[in-house]
Structure 1
Amino acid sequence: MIKALLHRMLRKFESDFDYDASYMHEVTDAWPGGSLRYLGLSIFSQTRGPEAEIWAGAVIASTLEGDCGPCAQLVVNMAVKAGVDPDQIAACLRRDFERAGAVGLAFRFAEAAIHDRPEVDTLRVAIFHAYGQKAVIAASYAAASGRVYPVLKRGLGHGQACQQIRLGDTDHTVVRLTA
């Protein structure tokens, strides 16, 4: 019974976001309890706070750092569905942070937090002053959690590198962070 319910939930998720969750169907078949624990991750990773743009920028950066194309496409689709401006997302993908607004601020914050860069403090303060402490918390949660999914998928044999993200009718090449 629990397996059937989990599979139904996964199929709805796949339909809602045009996403292949076959890896989670495999987990559900092998270990329903593991699948339930996976669902708990979304409580953490979907902690959006008051500004969808801040959550989106951080979770997209974190997911791209994890390097899974379908995962990155999924969080981009979720961000657009949450009302985040696709142009700001596209600007982040090409690292044009001047045009990326709040999404770009959170994207840079997540990269700085992940790579332990000194600008993380300046970016955190900028988020705090513009959007408040809840936004800082949401950005931190998103930075920490977005890369969980690519690592999990690779571990289960389903990882795929990210080269392009589709926004509307346009494919955008992802420009990578350089050392």
Structure 2
Amino acid sequence: MTKEQHLQELDTFSRRYRYDMDYLKEFLLSSPEGFEKFANFRPLSYHREFLPLDIYWVSKLAAMQVADCGECLQLNVRMALEADIDKSVVQACLQGGSRLPENLKDIFDFATAVACYRNVDPLLEERIDAQLNKRQRIELGVCVATASVYPTIKRAMGFTQRCSLVEIEFAA
């Protein structure tokens, strides 16, 4: 892709999701070669093949709450709602997961523990094993791991003023 094509893609995404892409534009303009490698990574950050949609988004929202404190989380809320995740599920995730159905509460707790690099309670581990197969667990790991990439790059570039607590809106 050319620089202009990348900029157009970033602008389109920014308008669609009402999300400030200045940090990625700066990345592109400062290091076109680095950005090209990053662009090749981006599809991995939204890869979903084996996980059910609700499990994918509960995992993503749990991990994003660990990695980010506002704007990126809002983006993921918009994307989850756009993917037809029930608003009550999204809200329950943002409230710590306690109001989620038991199976999704386990996913939320597991994804949070993985994102925080905490040991997983053996009983939770058993319930996750009963709920997810090996391919799904790998995919959940990718989902959780990639959630931190965007906020980490943003913070490293000095865009922390955009990473502040915001009131999450639920209009998709």
The alpha-carbon distance between structure 1 residues 41 and 97, as it changes in their structure 2 partners (threshold 3 A), is: farther
Q: Percent identity?
A: 26
Deviation of 1:125 after TM superposition, in Å, equals: 4.2
- Rounded to whole Å, the distance in 1 between the matches of 2:154 and 2:65 is 13
- Match runs of 1:114-153 below 5 Å: 114-119=115-120, 122-153=123-154
Instruction: Show the counterpart of 1:168.
Output: 171
The alpha-carbon distance between structure 1 residues 34 and 128, as it changes in their structure 2 partners (threshold 3 A), is: same
The alpha-carbon distance between structure 1 residues 94 and 135, as it changes in their structure 2 partners (threshold 3 A), is: same
User: CA offsets per residue over residues 113-172 of structure 1, 9 Å max, x none?
Assistant: 133434355445434433533332221111111011111101111131234321139xxx
- Rounded to whole Å, the distance in 1 between the matches of 2:51 and 2:22 is 32
- Rounded to whole Å, the distance in 2 between the matches of 1:30 and 1:116 is 32
Unmatched 5+ residue regions in structure 2?
Answer: none
Unmatched 5+ residue regions in structure 1?
Answer: 170-179
How much is the aligned-residue C-alpha RMSD, in angstroms? 2.3
Higher RCO, Cα 8 Å, sep 6+: 2
Deviation of 1:86 after TM superposition, in Å, equals: 1.6
Instruction: Show the counterpart of 1:109.
Output: 110
- Match runs of 1:72-91 below 5 Å: 72-91=73-92
1:53 aligns with 2:46: no
Contact 1:66–1:147, Cα closer than 8 Å, also in 2: yes
The alpha-carbon distance between structure 1 residues 101 and 83, as it changes in their structure 2 partners (threshold 3 A), is: farther
Instruction: Show the counterpart of 1:66.
Output: 67
The alpha-carbon distance between structure 1 residues 15 and 71, as it changes in their structure 2 partners (threshold 3 A), is: same
Contact 2:78–2:171, Cα closer than 8 Å, also in 1: no
The alpha-carbon distance between structure 1 residues 13 and 101, as it changes in their structure 2 partners (threshold 3 A), is: farther
The alpha-carbon distance between structure 1 residues 130 and 106, as it changes in their structure 2 partners (threshold 3 A), is: same
- Rounded to whole Å, the distance in 2 between the matches of 1:4 and 1:120 is 48
- Name the one with the larger strand percent: 1
Instruction: Show the counterpart of 1:27.
Output: 27
2:168 aligned counterpart, secondary structure: strand
Q: Which is worse superposed, 43-52 or 152-161?
A: 43-52
2:143 aligned counterpart, secondary structure: helix
